[in-house]
Amino acid sequence: MTGKLIEIKCLTVRYKDEGNVIENLNMHVGYKEIIGIVGESGSGKTTLIRAIINLLSSGGEIVSGEIIFKGEDISKYSKERWRTIRGNEICMIFQNPGSYLNPIKRIGSQFVESIRSHIDISRNEAIEKAEETLRRMGLCDSFRIMKSYPFQLSGGMKQRIAIAMALAMEPKLILADEPTSALDVITQVQIIKELMKLRNNFNTSIIIVTHNIGCAAYMADRIMVMNNGEIIESDYKENIIAKPQMDYTKKLLDSIPELEGH
């Protein structure tokens, strides 16, 4: 499938105490495309993806613009309409996703409840789907994990479980906010490869927000560089890496030693 899965037109987002955090932003994501949005903390990256999924922090509002998803302006959706697409068609993987697990409920109970709130299947089918998704994330002992409480698992395992819960719905668009920032390098690579597999197997599009341009260069088709709420440079990753146009982008590249010589 070709064309635009999501298109953002002239988006302006404001917080009461900060003024406009994003101003007149335009971008699009194609079907089965991975976009890496890079920039330093405070550049507006997280605000952008929270605006897309209608989960802005307190005091945040979309002042103007359109967010067109599969031909409809979802920025105008009601809360009820959002319940039909959030999780099913658009999902967000938060920074430190493991912290969103309920500490007093077993993983299996949380996972099954999450699946059945979005998909009309039996409890046993949901258990099978949950265990299969955990195995895809490299968590082979899925039976033990489903019986465990979060405090019985390592931080890295909780991260992967929370990401698996998002991926289980096989959404059309994944918004990932620094999803691997708290993980060791080996686990980071595993998660990134799993996200890329989801794109290849289910035609999923991904927007990954990161301060690490090396991560974006590894997995993204295009890279967008944000600074002060604006996209200041956008191109295919090969062009951004080899021929950055903006000094800000060059500084980001210079901060990643492993990219030298690419």
Domain boundaries along the sequence of the chain: 99-169
DSSP summary character for residue 56:
P
Torsion sign (Cα): 109, 114, 117, 121: negative
Of 167, 228, 245, 156, the residue nearest 201 (C-alpha): 167
The reported pTM is 0.88
Within the chain, what is the greatest distance between any pair of CA atoms? 55
Helix residue ranges, H only, the chain: 45-52, 79-85, 107-118, 123-136, 142-147, 155-167, 185-202, 213-219, 237-242, 247-254
Q: What is the pLDDT along the chain (262 residues), one digit of tens a residue?
A: 568 999 999 999 999 888 889 999 999 999 999 999 999 888 999 999 999 999 998 889 999 999 999 999 999 999 999 988 998 899 998 877 777 899 999 999 999 999 998 889 999 999 999 999 998 877 889 999 999 999 999 887 888 888 889 888 889 999 999 887 767 777 778 778 878 887 887 789 999 998 888 889 889 999 999 999 999 999 999 999 999 999 999 998 887 755 434 4
Strand order through the sheet with 72-73: 19-30, 4-15, 60-69, 72-73
Determine the Cα–Cα distance for residues 87 and 141; give it in Å rounded to an integer: 25
